[in-house]
Structure 1
């Protein structure tokens, strides 16, 4: 089987206002136990590999198998961290061992009267058979931000 070699690019910006102080929203990313509590696909995935190294140059890994589905692998490197202000990562995704994309994502934390305005900006390059996957990436990120909102509302820390 011949794979058509092609690239596609997709970018998106998602903004959410969370009724929690910046420090609380920040800690949901910066503290491993808190991130484990909301990150990922929840019960839809069987966790496999996990690594967490929150520092500039540090790497995160999240791998899991969707029930009756593919193995998803996320590997991120932190390129910039300014406490309570921003996190910038580059990350790669694989599906069943096939490299599907490389992305740059910036996460911004802004105090507002009601809590925190969180902005996620991402630009991705999708490879070969995954060239049309940009809308799915945005939808997946929306799901993560919903999970973050539920986690923050739960009061767990």
Structure 2
């Protein structure tokens, strides 16, 4: 039985205003377009106390489930959620994530800070940081369209 704790911070600058970035997080259809994997499931109840559930495709051999509860939302400025990631019903991580949106020049600076507890080697902090960076890049591609 092992426990690793890790915190990472990622920043991205997008060439759209904070309202547009916030909408990409808060609208279920928009978020599904950049946050989910092909063939996976997604539901989003974007409000304080609301839940988000994302699942991997059923044919990947692992039943991956990410569940989040929104703890704080300041429209166009801040999103805070607590989440868990499980694979085949085995808890891999528990985390708290803060997303900050700040107007900058002609766009938005997004700062994401994640504080995670990684259990029994089921996921490594570096994997989570890489995956989170990948979907922030996908968000940027979506916003650029």
The aligned residue for residue 47 of structure 1 is: 40
Structure 1 residue ranges without an equivalent (≥5): none
Tell me the equivalent position of 1:23: 19
Match of 2:134 in 1: 143
Quick check: 1:105 aligned with 2:82? no
CA contact (8 A) 2:67 2:83 kept: yes
Rg: which structure is higher? 1
Where 1:20 maps in the other structure, the secondary structure is coil
Distance in 2 separating the partners of 1:95 and 1:14? 25
Tell me what 1:33 maps to. 29
**Secondary structure, counterpart of 1:37 in structure 2:** helix
Residue 70 of structure 1: how far off its partner (Å): 2.1
Post-superposition offset of 1:115: 0.3
Whole-angstrom distance in 2 between the partners of 1:7 and 1:66: 28
Please tell me whether the aligned partners of residues 4 and 117 of structure 2 are also in contact (alpha carbons under 8 angstroms).
Answer: yes
Matched pairs, number? 145
Give me the whole-angstrom Cα distance separating, in 2, the residues matched to 1:70 and 1:150: 28
Q: 1:136 to 1:66 in 2, by over 3 A?
A: farther
Q: Are residues 68 and 51 of structure 1, via their aligned partners in 2, closer, same or farther at CA, if it must alter by over 3 Å?
A: closer
Q: TM-score, normalised by structure 1?
A: 0.87
For residues 71 and 19 of structure 1, the distance between their equivalents in structure 2, rounded to whole angstroms, comes to 36
Secondary structure of the structure 2 residue equivalent to 1:129: coil
The alignment's C-alpha RMSD in Å is: 1.4
Q: Gapped runs of 5+ residues in structure 2?
A: none
Kindly state the Cα deviation for residue 75 of structure 1 after the two structures are TM-superposed.
Answer: 0.2
Q: In the alignment, what sits opposite 1:121?
A: 113
> Partners of 2:112 and 2:44 in 1: how far apart?
20
Deviation at 1:69, TM superposition (A): 4.1
TM-score by length of structure 2 reads 0.94
State the distance in 2 between where 1:18 and 1:66 align: 33
